[in-house]
Each structure stands twice: as C-alpha cells, then as structure tokens.
Amino acid sequence: MQFHLNGYNPGDPRIIDPIDRIIPPPLKRPLPARCDVVIVGCGPAGLNLAAQLSQFSDIHTVITDLKDDRLTVGQADGMACRTLEMFQAYGFADQVIQEAYGVNEVAFWKPDPDDPSRIARNSKIDDVADDLSEMPHVIINQARIHDHFLSVMKNSAAKTEPYYSRKLIDVTINHSDPVYPVTVTFERAITHSQFNREVETINCKYAVGCDGARSQVRKSIGHKLVGDALNQAWGVMDILAVTDFPDIRLKAAIQSINEGNLLIIPREGGYMVRMYIELDKLKQDERVDRENMNVDVLIRAANRIMAPYTLDVKEVPWWSVYEIGQRLATAFDNSQKGGSPRVFLAGDACHTHSPKAGQGLNTSVMDTWNLGWKLAHVLIGRAPEALLSTYSAERSEVAKKLIDFDREWSKMFSTKPKTKDNPDGVDPAEFQKYFELFARFTAGVGIQYQSSSIVDEDTYQHLAAGQPIGQRFHSAPVIRHGDAKPVQLGHCHTANGAWRVYAFAGSDDPSSDSCRMRKLADFLANDPGSPVLKHTPDGADIDSVIDLRAVFQVPHRGLERTDVHSFLTPTKGRLGLKDYEKIFCVTDDNNIYEMRGIDKLDGCIVVVRPDQYVATVLPLTGQKELAAFFSGCLTSG
C-alpha cells in the first residue's frame, strides 16, 4: 500500500478522508469496585494482555491509562517475525502485512576508502534468513497495532475497553484477603484541585504493571530498574523527504568517518522514513539538553553523516531525542515477599534498552503473551497458582540476554569505523557479521525457555529435531485434508488459551488397526487416563483445553476420511457440528517431515503451549508420558 503522499495522517490508511479516520472519544465511566485483573498501561504490552484475557467471558479485566484517549502516533515501529506469528493467532497479521513496509534487505555503508569524507555502500544482505519464519519483518506505526488490539478486545467474548484518564497512585497487597488481595488506587487525571481529588479504588485478584520505564506499579512493590547508560545521545525522526541517497527505501546502517552513525528504517506507505541519528557523546551523568534541541539539529546531523548525499526534509510528523541505557528490574513480580505472585511487571516497566535493535515493542508483547494464558489458566481453574511463577523465571532470562545483546550492539553502532587513522575502531565487516550472528534473536525466534513444569526434558527430541523443546513451534506448509487447502500448520494456533498436540504419523498404514496414530486418537477419546477427558470441563468443546491435530505422510488425495479415527473429526458447539480442520497431509514441494526433522519411520507427538512454544516431544506410543505431562501442569476439568 502507498499513502502519506500529501502529508502524514494517522489512522487506517484504507479510509481515504483523514477526517473519517477519527474515532469518537471514549466514554467516561467509573471504575468497578472489583475485578479479576487490573492492567496499568495501554501500551503494546498492556493491550496484548487485555486482548488475551478478553477471549474469556468469565474473566473480568480492567485496563487503564493516564492518557485521555487511544494512541494516534506511536514511537515503536519494527515488528519482528515472531511478533507477526503472534498477530496471526489473533487474526490480524494479514492486515498488518498488507499495510506495513516489509524489510527485505539491509544495506551497510561505510567511509569510502578513496575519500573517507564520503560514504560508500559496503554490502547488502537479506534481512531475514530463508525459512526463519513464514512471517516477514515489517515496519508499521505502533498506533495501528494498538488499534488492532483494541478491536480484538472490543469484539471479544468479554467486550473489554480501556478506562482512560487514570493516574495510578498505589498498589498494595493484603495477604489476609484470599480472593481479592490486591488494592489498586487511581486518581482521575481530569481533576486538578488538591482539595477536590477524585480517587477510585479497585480490589482485584492480580495486577500487572505495563506502565513504562517510570512504572508506578514497580515502585509500589518495591522494585527498581538497575543498569547503566552508555553516555550516548541519539535523535530519531519520521520524515517525508526528497533525497539522492540511493538506498532510502532499504533498511540501511551508515557509518561515517567523523560525523557519527545513522540508521535508516523506511516506513509504511512508500514515502515516509525513520532515521536514528547519532548525536554528541555525553559526559558522565550528563543529560540531553532538550531545551536547545530541535528537529533542525537532527536534520543537519543527518546531512553531515550522509555526505555527499543530501536530505531535503519536507515534513516531520514526529521526532524525539533519547539517551541510550540498558536497565533491568530487580524482579518481575512481587513473589519475593512470600506466597504466589499477585503483581507482575511487563515491558518497559521491567527492562529498557536502545530502540535500534527493534526489540522494545517486540519483547514487551512477548512478556504479556507469556503471562496472559497463564493468568487465564489460573483464573478459570485450569491450572494451579504455581504456574504463575514460571512467568518471571522465563521472561527475566530473556530480558537479560536482550540487554547483553543491546549493550554490545549499541556500543558497536556508536563507535567510529576502523580506518588507517583510527585502528581501534569497529571494522565494518565485523559490524555486519554481528548483525547476521544475532539475526535469530532480533527476529524473536531465538528464545529458549528452560526446563520446568511446562517445558519438558529433551528425552525424545530426536523424533522432532527441528522443533526444539522450549523454543517456539516452527511452522511449515501442509495441506488441510478436509478442503485440500495449502496452509501453515502453525496457524492452527489461535489466542484462545488451548494447548495444541500435533501428532505426526509414522510409516504405518493409516487405515490399519495397528496404526499408532489411530491408537493415540482412541486413547485420547476413550481411555479413562486420557488427558483430554481429564482436563476438559463438563459441557466444554472437546478441543477447548487440548486440541489434537494430525499430520500424515501420504498425499491428501490418498487419504480417505474413513481411514482415520473419528476423534479427528470431533463434534462441537451447540448444534454438534463436525470439525473437518484437524487433519493435514504433507505437500509435494516442502515436506514438513524433512523441513522440521520429524522421524518418518516412527513419527512423534509435539505438544505446544498456548503461547506457541514447544512443551515436549514424545513418541506416538507415549500415551502415559503425555498424560503425566498434562497432570503436572493442569488441574482436572
């Protein structure tokens, strides 16, 4: 899509008249006295959590924000491949991809060896490696992502909408109250007189601070952000400009000899560009002089770095300056004070870093993607409270690795390139090598969760070598048997809190009584030890907790529906209709068994958590192990 040609306008670009893009202001309404979960902050982390919880009509969620309305111009813009995989679970990934700028190549520029005062292109590389993900790396206004989350929330089972104009005052925990132990106090942000303060209090079961680097939730539970700064100032601006720089529509990293460095990120719409511009080094404990900073300073700096190319800026929809620093919260929840955690931190409230690696929003939404299903499980009685302790254990380790990476990346980006006159500088080739080395991490697909009640040991990993336990399920193309449609197997994951059990058939005849797939399906359907029967509540659809999907090695035209167990076409819903989308076959060109290292002789079971991470790999005959795994993390239905 192309837009912003005649200037920047926020909102849905599919709506031609910018006036028609304006959404009416939110209704003013009082906060309820009680709820299940209070989320403080309507940033990406908070909205993602609210969107997940809104899928459950029995969970009452309140989400608040200090602002008086939804975001219209966002700061974060890069959406990693892994984040798009999550968007797919909500159903809006295709809309994002259509509207966004797709990052396909990265250009690296360095001082021209023949004239170091000029820059010259050093190389171009692919931004995303082949088969890293079925999803691309894209650039889109953060506000548009907020709009999608808000739409999911509003149209969900719980019909959740934010409460704006609320300033958080305090969060306290009363351990003597077993039901609503958390008290959250707000002040209406529209009140100004200290003699007429409008204070509102909510009692809830859990509270989550998604309220940014200055988080009041974090302060209320006695935690701090600790870390250091690099004493480096950077400017950032979104611009509509005319330039002779040849790679203006590519992601480009530019290292100049004396004028600093610059990162170009093309924006959606075909015309707008974001630039991260290195400014002067800061002295110890010095802060950016914001009073004397203006966008003209950034434009002049960009022109110096890009010489001999020029930049004629026509419009600046947004700009800012910031100081680089990496900080991590002393804890991600309140559990160190005893008992199960009741208050959690997510996003910038528990980790901050530079924006150039594009990990701020992406890591933040993955925090709450991890937390959301766990909260839902506990609240609806699907899992014990102990499950909630895995949030901090898993996500704090991810944040530490991110900060280590960001520290090194920022240092390299802020260091002068290596030349004859500057032998201690960064070799542009090493800079590019580091970029490629951490491609999986920046794409969001390199996360590895450690063993726990929801991440099993790797005893049977060899049966699915390309689906590492503790990493995200790596999708691949298959043919859906019911309608012969080519699909991505990973797109079976939706944000409904269900576990997926993928059963990959071995070399058995699917129609034979000795077929291991048939025996597995019969066990899950009829055996008293079946985890499906044990953990599915009475009256719920049979796949609402554990959703079995089967993949066969035979071509889809060689498999008859009568060849497979009836449990793979379950009856569901009020009318008892059959679900014909549980069975898949391999494709002719990209065989999922070969792509993901699935044992063709024996097949296997791959259990995937509601947040799309592989929990365990088991043999097709591992019915007892499958039941034992679910007994270790779920309650009876």
* pLDDT tens track for 406-425: 777 777 776 777 777 777 77
- Bridge partner list, 34: 203
* 461-631: CATH class: alpha beta
Does residue 40 surpass a pLDDT of 60? yes
Average pLDDT over residues 21-45: 92
Cα 36 to chain centroid distance, Å, stands at 24
Retrieve residue 261's tokens. 């460095």
Is beta strand 485-488 parallel, antiparallel or unpaired with respect to 477-480?
antiparallel
pTM summary value: 0.93
Q: Identify the active-site residue in 266, 355, 417, 610.
A: 355
Report the pLDDT value the prediction gives residue 234, as an integer from 0 to 100.
83
* Residue ranges of domains in the chain: 32-101+136-225+328-400, 226-324+406-442, 461-631
Identify the active-site residue in 144, 166, 218, 267.
267
Active site residue 271: no
Q: Please tell me which residue in 8, 36, 44, 77 is annotated as part of the active site.
A: 77
Quick check: is 502 catalytic? Answer: no
**For residues 146 and 47, is the Cβ–Cβ distance under 8 A?**
yes
Q: Please name the residues in contact with 432: beta carbons below 8 A apart, sequence gap of 6 or more.
A: 108, 122, 123, 125
Question: What average pLDDT does the segment 507-530 reach?
Answer: 96
The dihedrals phi and psi of 215, each to the nearest 5 degrees, come to -50, 120
Confirm if 590 and 476 have CB atoms less than 8 A apart: yes
Q: Say if residues 587 and 479 touch (Cβ distance below 8 Å).
A: yes
Q: Give the model's pLDDT for residue 288.
A: 60
- Positive or negative, the Cα torsion across 192, 195, 198, 203? positive
Q: What is the pLDDT of residue 324?
A: 66
- Whether the per-residue pLDDT at 287 is higher than 70: the answer is no
Distance, in Å, from the CA atom of 350 to the CA atom of 370, rounded to the nearest integer, reads 14
**At 465, phi and psi to the nearest 5?**
-60, -30
Q: How many CA atoms lie within 13 A of 410 on its CB side?
A: 25
Residues pairing with 168 in the sheet: 186
**pLDDT band at residue 358 using 50, 70 and 90 as cut-offs:** low
pLDDT at position 285 over 60? no
Residue 72 has a pLDDT of: 84
Min mean pLDDT across 94-103, 145-154, 407-416, 561-570 is at 407-416
**Six token digits for residue 316:** 């600046």
Is residue 613 annotated as a catalytic residue, yes or no?
Answer: no
The pLDDT confidence band at residue 435, using thresholds 50, 70 and 90, is confident
Tens digit of pLDDT for each residue in 457-502? 999 999 999 999 999 999 999 999 999 999 999 999 999 999 999 9
Residue 289 has a pLDDT of 65
Please compute the mean of the pLDDT values over residues 75-104 and round it to a whole number: 95
In the prediction, which pLDDT does 282 show? 46
- Which pLDDT score, from 0 to 100, does residue 356 have? 59
The band of 603, judged by pLDDT with boundaries at 50, 70 and 90, is very high
- Residue 193: pLDDT band (50, 70, 90) is low
- The residue annotated as part of the active site, out of 8, 276, 449, 593, is 276
Q: What pLDDT shows up at residue 194?
A: 55
The whole-number average pLDDT for the span 89-95 is 97
Whole-number average pLDDT of the chain: 91
CATH number belonging to domain 32-101+136-225+328-400: 3.50.50.60
Q: What is the pLDDT of residue 339?
A: 73
Give yes or no for residue 254 having a pLDDT over 90. Answer: yes
Could you give phi then psi for residue 406, rounded to 5 degrees? -65, -35
pLDDT band for position 229 (50/70/90)? low
Q: Give the residue-averaged pLDDT of 355-375.
A: 88
Q: What per-residue confidence (pLDDT) applies to 338? A: 60
Q: Which pLDDT belongs to residue 430? A: 79
* Buried b or exposed e, range 214-243, using 16+ CB within 10 angstroms: ebbbbbbbebebeeeebebbbbbbbbbbeb
For the chain, count helices (H), then strands (E): 14, 26
3-state SS track over 255-266: ECCCCCEEEEEE
Q: Is 355 a catalytic residue?
A: yes
Please give the share of the chain, as a percent, with pLDDT higher than 90. Answer: 75
pLDDT band at 357 (very low <50, low <70, confident <90, very high): low
**pLDDT tens digit sequence for 534-548:** 999 999 999 999 999
Mean pLDDT, residues 569-586 taken together: 97
Q: Which residue has the higher pLDDT, 73 or 457?
A: 457
Which numeric CATH code is attached to 226-324+406-442? 3.30.9.10
Band (20; pLDDT cuts 50, 70, 90): confident
* pLDDT recorded at residue 582: 98
